[in-house]
Structure 1
Amino acid sequence: MNLFADIRSRVLTCLDALVAEGILPEGLDFANAAVEPPRDAAHGDMATNAAMVLAKPAKMNPRAIAEALAAKLQEDADIVVAEVAGPGFLNMRLAPSVWHGVVKAALGDPSYGQSTMGQGIKTMVEYVSANPTGPLHVGHTRGAVFGDALARLLDYAGYDVTKEYYINDGGAQVDVLARSVYLRYLEAHGQDVAFEDGTYPGDYLIPVGEALKGKVGDAYVGEGEDVWLVDVREFATEKMMDLIRADLAALGVTMDSFFSEKSLYGTGLIEDAIADLDAKGLIYRGVLEPPKGKMPEDWEPREQTLFKSTAHGDDVDRPVQKSDGSWTYFAPDIAYHYDKVKRGYDQLIDVFGADHGGYVKRMKAAVSALSDGNVPLDIKLTQLVKLYKDGEPFKMSKRAGTFVTLRDVVDQVGANVTRFHMLTRKNDAPLDFDFDKVLEQSKDNPVFYVNYAYARVNSAVGKASAFADVSDATLAGVDVSGLTHDAELALIKKLAEWPRLVEIAAKGQEPHRIAFYLYDLASEFHGLYHQGNSDESLRFVQDGDSETTQSKIALIRAVAIVISHGLGILGVTPAEEMR
């Protein structure tokens, strides 16, 4: 049940009738006619812009259209009032029975709020994709939470979603990892070592070095890289991916698939992708213009193999092969997305850190070229997270050596708090993460406030169960017509917004909207709860009156169900009780 979609359907039916009667001209496009909550609740329950958007194509006064539409809508028994405001906006008030139907729908329909908007569109969401050289840091945490919540949201809205991690195991950084693990391996054999030449000094590699010793004994001690580099690189990468998978699991993130960059080399995949672009006339030999701004000292004009990315919206063409014949970093990324397109995805979403902003246009150009413009690529950037504790910037992790890890954050506050708070800002807005405030038990802490609402519902249900049947199956059939107080109706109206909000959030790929909505829903709930302190008739449990209690418990159970659905999209487990 999507009440806003239902009322919009009725508006469109009335518009069709006006066309049939000759009041409106034929051939009008009703696609932009919307039904939404009014900006001011005092104006009504719902508002439509239909007259405003149709006035110009119909060559009519918008108010005249609105008045004709209002007359039609008032023939509907569920629409008590339809009145014109301003130049042609139309406000509607619905019968109480319509709102009461929302409570029954939320209780009786397990899919309440879910949408078929996605129509099974096959969607790949790639996120995290950190270099397998160490544990995930706090920046990866935000990308992991956002990507996972986005995938869950799209799934809830009817898309066919695959979550994938791209393992960057084909570059020079993996050789550095291997050398770092080798040093820890020597250390495990009692040798003194020095971490130089950019090797990774973090303590997290100590057990990896010891594990390597346990596998090969002293076979690599004193040997050159030609003996051990390939084997140690593979061993270390596997161990780091085990660590990363464990970090993600601690955050409640699981991937559907992992794709190795290394699998692109020596298999013809890169060559096939470049050949595809070449066949479309998009590969050529040329010399790039010098970079803008301060000229690097080592820059020199040289002929390279270039991708004509400007033909697909990029600012400049991009090199895919160096003058020495080796591939650039961009080439395997093209091949990876070529593989995504070949796997039959209808749309692609990449979640990158803020430092990848310069990569957006070239990747979008590559996917546009590879798919002949048929597969859209959206790239979502997650901005930096600033950590605070006791009012001061949080100290770096000794275990990691140079950064605060995902585990540092989760160990401090838990996965649920971490996930929810990471979604209280839009992904491309900076985020402050204060370890004290995210655990604060106050209205100012949305994590607590939403969970407190859920726990309060459970407490009331427990009290009511002492003298009334408050199972969801029973509550779905009780008479809720007695829920007529303004505060009760306001809470129901907020519940009615849930299906619409899901579609708006999914369309905009904005899971933070779910967190915002849950806070607003919790606020309406807590407001009704507190009014019960002064008005006993609003209390959820009416001692000795099972019927009235059942109707009120039905309302707040509907709230709890929607909170549970919303938290599920965010990847958060609701708190059954608060102490």
Structure 2
Amino acid sequence: MNLFSEIRDLVLDALAQMQDEGALPADLSFDNVTVEPPRDPAHGDMATNAAMVLAKPAGRKPREIAEALAGKLGADARITSAEVAGPGFLNLRLAASVWQGIVGTILERGTDYGRSEMGRGKRVNVEYVSTNPTGPVHVGHTRGAVFGDTLASLLDYAGYEVTREYYINDGGAQVDVLARSVYLRYLEAHGREVAFEDGTYPGDYLVPVGQALKDKVGDAYVGKGEEVWLDEVRALATDAMMDLIREDLSLLGVRMDRFFSEKSLYGTGKIEAAIKDLDDKGLIYRGTLEPPKGKTPEDWEPREQTLFRSTAHGDDVDRPIMKSDGSWTYFAPDIAYHYDKISRGYDLLIDVFGADHGGYVKRMKAAVSALSDGNVPLDIKLTQLVKLWKNGEPFKMSKRAGTFVTLRDVVEQVGPDVTRFVMLTRKNDAPLDFDFDKVLEQSRENPVFYVQYAHARVMSVLRKAGDGGIDTGDATLAGADLSVLAHEAELALARKLAEWPRLVEIAARSNEPHRVALYLYELAGEFHALWNRGNDDPSLRFLQDGDAATSQAKIALARSVAVVISAGLDILGVKPAQEMR
């Protein structure tokens, strides 16, 4: 149930009546008509822009349309007033019974309240994390992991069929560096002195991998050249790192439906097939690029290359797909990978990249547009950097990792629930400060605590009511006389609850799961405000001594808050608190 959609339907019906009466042209489109909360709550419960967007195509003054529309809407029992404001905005106030009914609806539907059919019949692939398999997941990847996993859950809640996917970058030179690093740990396991040079990875996490290699082959590789051991060590090391990455992700409750290996694209004809598809469309050619920005013709050596005409699909420049030695550029297997995703029949592709991939966005979107003939959208979300703080100072690097702070370091400090929620308190493309001290504070300034505390308070009310012999089953509460919820503070809370289905669709449509976290914080704020008012006004308390019927109605409101918080936290991958300790 989306109340805003219901009132929009009411507006559209009224506009259709005006068409039938000749007050509006018959061919008028209502696609841009919206019903949403007004910017200033004092103006009403909802506002529609109908008169403003229809005036020009209808050849009418906005106020004329708004006044006629107000008259029709006022005849509906749900609308207590429809007031024209400014040049033609229409502000609506709804009957208290509408907001009271929201409480009953929530208790009847449970956590399915807010679940949408928006994505019904549509398949979406969300690729996220996809860190190189060269070590544990670091804190930057943690933000992308939480964002991608939450976005997938949000889209599922909005009705999409979602695939969570991890692209294993195991086809590049970095995996050879990993193998050499493991070989050094292998030599260490044999008592040899080693030095980590040439970009090799010094983290302690490779010590057990080196030992595992020793256990497997003994001293067979000691003193031998790469031609003897590189291929096998690379495979062993990649498998070990992927096991480590899976363990790290599981600490956050992140699961993948599919792992796709870049290496599987090589020698299988998949890259060649993708490039041929582009070639058949006239998008592959031999040519010479202009000097990059910052380069002058004097310090730029032009050379003929095999290029993808990505500018035909919105890119700034065409992109090389083959090196001068005939090998593929890094871009070519990425094209092939997305070609594979398109061939699997997805209606929408979403890639979650780190901030350092900003320059890759246009070329990748151009490739998907070309490969799908513009039929499959690709949305690329960049996650900005996370700055860690503790005791007022930057949090130091992990000795275990060697050069960075790991996901495991963060989760061990604050737990998975706090980690996930905090990572979603800002939009993905905004930098994020993660202060270990502040995220554990029990105060309003800590959004994790604030939301969890609201849920725990409701659970406390339910326990006390149960101890007092009051039936607090959802079915019983839904049948209570909700008309007693008449105070403005109670109705304000119900109005906030009514926003949840709309919020879900907005967040899913824009691929912005942080909106869920912000909404839960606002909902918790409305609940805590009502709770605190009950300290001064006993009539607002959820438990009314000697009045079980009124108590049930007020408990119904509190319980509905817990239901929505539980649904929202489930999307975020966070467990609702039953009590605060």
TM above 0.5: yes
Q: Measure how far apart 1:222 and its partner are.
A: 2.0
Q: CA RMSD in A?
A: 1.2
| Distance (whole Å) between structure 2 residues aligned to residue 297 and residue 566 of structure 1 | 58
Between the aligned residues of both structures, percent identity stands at 77
CA distance in 1 between counterparts of 2:87 and 2:577 reads 48
AA matched with 2:260: F
In structure 1, give the amino acid aligned to 2:74.
Answer: Q
Contiguous gaps of at least 5 residues in structure 1: none
Q: Name the residue aligned to 1:499.
A: 501
SS for the counterpart of 2:483 is: coil
The residue type paired with residue 8 of structure 1 is R
1:35 aligns with 35
Once the two structures are TM-superposed, the CA of residue 473 in structure 1 deviates from its matched residue by: 2.0
1:425-574 residue pairs with structure 2 within 5 A? 425-466=426-467, 467-574=469-576
Q: In structure 1, how many angstroms separate the alpha carbons of the residues matched to 2:430 and 2:439? A: 18
For each residue in 1:501-538, what CA deviation from the matched residue of structure 2 results, as whole angstroms up to 9, or x when unmatched?
Answer: 11111111111111111010000000000001011111
Residues of 2 paired with 1:19 and 1:119: CA distance? 32
Q: C-alpha separation between the residues in 2 aligned to 1:522 and 1:399?
A: 39
Structure 2 residue 361 is the aligned partner of structure 1 residue 360:
yes
What is the aligned partner in structure 1 of residue 64 from structure 2?
Answer: 64
> 2:77 aligned with 1:77, yes or no?
yes
Question: d(CA) in 2 for partners of 1:488 and 1:203?
Answer: 56
Deviates more, 1:82-91 or 1:515-524: 82-91
Matches within 5 A, 1:117-516: 117-294=118-295, 300-466=301-467, 467-516=469-518
**How far 1:294 moved relative to its partner?**
4.1
Aligned to 2:94: 94
Report which stretch shifted further, 289-298 or 165-174.
289-298
Cα distance per residue 1:418-453 (max 9 Å; x no partner): 111111110001111111011111001111100000
- Letter of the aligned partner of 1:575 in structure 2? A
- How many angstroms does 1:465 deviate by? 0.8
CA deviations on 1:247-275 (whole Å, 9 max, x unpaired) are 10101100010000000000000010111
Alpha-carbon distance, 1:183 to partner: 0.8
Deviations 1:202-259 (A, max 9, x none): 0000011111112222222222211111111000000000000011010110001000
Q: Which amino acid aligns with 1:212?
A: L
How big is the shift at 1:297?
Answer: 10
TM-score normalized by the length of structure 2:
0.98
Paired AA for residue 48 in structure 1: T
2:25 is aligned with 1:25: yes
Deviates more, 1:74-83 or 1:395-404: 74-83
- Work out whether residues 119 and 155 of structure 2, in 8 Å CA contact, stay in contact via their aligned partners in 1: yes
CA distance in 2, matches of 1:156, 1:299: 52
Alignment check: 8 A CA contact 2:520 2:568 kept: yes
Cα deviation for residue 494 of structure 1 reads 0.3
Q: Separation in 2 of the partners of 1:91 and 1:361?
A: 41
Question: Residue 465 of structure 1 aligns to a residue in which SS?
Answer: helix
Spell out, residue by residue over 1:145-191, the C-alpha distance to the aligned partner (whole angstroms, 9 max, x if none): 11111111111111111110000000010011001001111111111
Question: Is 1:51 the equivalent of 2:51?
Answer: yes
Q: 1:300 offset after TM fit, Å?
A: 2.7
SS in 2 for 1:387: strand
What per-residue deviation string (whole Å, max 9, x for no partner) do you get for residues 396-437 of structure 1?
111111001111111111111011111111000111111101
CA drift at 1:120: 2.5
Question: What is the DSSP-based 3-state SS (H/G/I as helix, E as strand, rest coil) of the residue aligned with 1:18?
Answer: helix
The offset of 1:119, in angstroms, is 2.3
1:441-475 CA-partner distances (Å, limit 9, x unpaired): 10011111000000000001100112200011211
CA distance in 2, matches of 1:120, 1:255: 21
Amino acid at match of 2:495: K
TM-score for both structures, normalised by structure 1: 0.99
Q: Distance in 2 between matches of 1:85 and 1:291?
A: 53
User: 1:296 Cα deviation (Å)?
Assistant: 11
Aligned-pair CA distance for 1:295: 5.9
How far does the alpha carbon of each residue in 1:476-521 deviate from its partner, in whole angstroms, 9 at most, with x for none? Answer: 2211110000100000000000001111111111111111110100
Give the whole-Å Cα distance in 2 for the aligned partners of 1:28 and 1:158: 30
Whether the aligned pair in 1 keeps the contact of 2:291 and 2:297 (CA below 8 Å) is: no
Q: Which moved more, 1:120-129 or 1:162-171?
A: 120-129
Measured in 1, the distance between the counterparts of 2:268 and 2:458 equals 57
For the residue of structure 1 that corresponds to 2:482, the secondary structure is coil
Partner of 2:12: 12
Structure 2: gaps spanning 5 or more residues: none
How many Å separate the matches in 1 of 2:440 and 2:295?
47
Aligned amino acid, residue 495 of structure 1:
L
Name the residue aligned to 2:578. Answer: 576
Task: Give how far 1:342 is off.
Answer: 0.8
Q: State the distance in 2 between where 1:541 and 1:246 align.
A: 46
